[in-house]
Every structure is written in structure tokens, then in C-alpha cells.
Amino acid sequence: MGPPSQRHLVALGRQRLEVQRLEEQQKYLQKQTALVRAELYRAGISAKDDAGATARLARETSRYNQELSKQEARPEATGGSSAQDECGACQLCPFTGGA
């Protein structure tokens, strides 16, 4: 087997560049993953089990939305007005019909 041809050297150079690009992309994605894990950890969620973390986030979101719906329905059910309706301190407030 003789020395590599110019074509082989060019192909090898391209492969090295592609490997370098992929390694840089992997490092970037690992940093992003670490940031996401840190945020999840701050929220009390372990990211070791991705499916479990996703399921827990879905449950927490559902529970939060249900509680929010209950809170929003309370003033309407009792015939009272909400704090948003009673607030008239600011003319720019979207709840008072301001700008």
C-alpha cells in the first residue's frame, strides 16, 4: 500500500473537522443538560430518570392548574367580585379597563 492520495488526505481532513464539530456540539449539549438539571434540582426534581421527571412535571402542572381554576371560580360561585375587579388604583391596569 502506497502513500495516501490527495483525495484521501482531503477526505481525512474533512472527517477530522466533522469529528471536531461533533465534539464541540456534544460539549455544548452537555453544558445545556447540566443547566437544565440544576434548574430541576432547584425545583426539587431529580433528572436522573427523565421519564419520571417528565411525569412529575406533568402532575405538578396539572395540580397547579386545578388549584388555580378553583381559586378563579370561588368569587364567581359566591357572587362576589375578585380582587382584580376591586382594584382601581391604576388607570393602566388591564383589570380595570384602563389602557
Taking the CA of residue 93 as centre, how many other CA atoms within 13 Å lie in the half-sphere pointing to its CB?
11
Domain spans of the chain?
6-77
pTM tops 0.75: no
Phi, psi of 48 (to 5 degrees): -70, -35
Q: Nearest Cα to 84, choosing from 74, 62, 64?
A: 74
DSSP structure class, residue 2:
-
Cell 380595570 -> residue = 96
Q: Which of 6, 25, 27 is nearest to 17 (CA)?
A: 25
pLDDT tens per residue across all 99 residues of the chain: 789 899 999 999 999 999 999 999 999 999 999 998 888 888 877 767 677 777 888 898 999 898 988 888 876 655 555 555 555 445 555 555 444
Locate all alpha helices (DSSP H) within the chain, ordered by sequence. Answer: 6-42, 50-78, 83-86
